[in-house]
A and B are shown apart, each in its own frame.
Chain A
Amino acid sequence: MNVRRGLPRNAFILMMLAPTTVLLLGVTLFPFITALVMSFTNYSLIRPDELAWIGFGNYANLLGSTEFWQALRVTAVFTIVAVAVQMVLGAAIALLLHYETRRSAWLRIIYLLPMAITPVAATFTFRMMFNPSLGVINHMFKAVGLPPQDWLGSPSTALFSLLVVDTWQWTPFIMLIAVGGLAAMDDEPLEASQMDGASFWQTLGHHVLPMLTPYLAFALVFRSIDAFKTFDIIFVLTGGGPGTLTRTLNLLTYKHGIEFLAMGYAAAISIVMLIIAIVASQIFLRRLKLLQPRQARI
Chain B
Amino acid sequence: MSRTAQRHLLTIDDLGVEGVQRILRLTDSFVEVSERRIPKVPVLRGRTVAWLFYEDSTRTRLSFETAAKRLSADSMNFSVGSSAVNKGESLRDTVQTIEAMGVDAIVVRHKSAGAPKQITQWLDASVINAGDGWHAHPTQALLDCYTLRARLGGIDGRRIAIVGDIKHSRVARSNIAAFTALGAEVVLVAPPTLLPPSLVPFDVTVSHSIDEVIGEVDVVYLLRMQLERMHEALVPSLREYTATYGLTAARARRLGPDTVVMHPGPMNRGVEVAADVPQMPNAVVTDQVRNGVAVRMAVLFDLLATEADPVFGDDGEETDA
Q: Do A and B come from one complex?
A: no
User: Residues of B at under 8 Å CB distance from A?
Assistant: none
Q: Which residues of A contact B (CB under 8 A)?
A: none
